Amino acid sequence: MMTRLSSRRGQGMGEYALLFAIVLGAVIAMQSYVKQRLQGAIAFRADEYLNSAGTDVGTFEPVREVTSDSETTLTMTTAKAGDVSLTSKSTTTQTK
C-alpha cells in the first residue's frame, strides 16, 4: 500500500510539470500578438491626443533635394576634320 501512494505522488508532480510547460508555451506564443496590440493601442491614443490638441499627425515626409552635376567630353578623330571635341555639362536638381 505504501508503494502505491508514493508512485501516485510522483505522477502528480509530472502532471503539474506538463501543465506548467503547456501554459508557458502558450504565453510565449501569445507574446508577439500582445506586443503588437499594445503598440497599436498606444499609437492610437497618441494620435488621438495630438489630433485633439490641433496638431496634424499625418505621415512624415522629409524634404529631399538631389543635385547631380555631370560633364561629358567626346573626342572624335576624322580624316578630313582632324580632332573634334564636344563637351557637355548638365546640372539636375530634384526636390521631393
pTM of structure:
0.36
SS (H, E, C) 24-85: HHHHHHHHHHHHHHHHHHHHHHHHHHHHHCCCCCCCCCCCCEEEEEEEEEEEEEECCCEEEE
As a whole number of Å, the CA-based R_g of the chain is: 37
Greater model confidence, 5 or 44 = 44
CA distance 12 to 22: 15
Q: Locate the domains of the chain by residue range.
A: 65-95
Give the tens place of pLDDT for each residue, 24-44: 999 999 998 889 999 999 988
Give the tens place of pLDDT for each residue, 71-83: 777 777 766 766 7
Q: How confident is the model at residue 21 (pLDDT cuts 50, 70, 90)?
A: very high
Which three cell numbers mark 72? 561629358
Strand, coil or helix: 77: strand
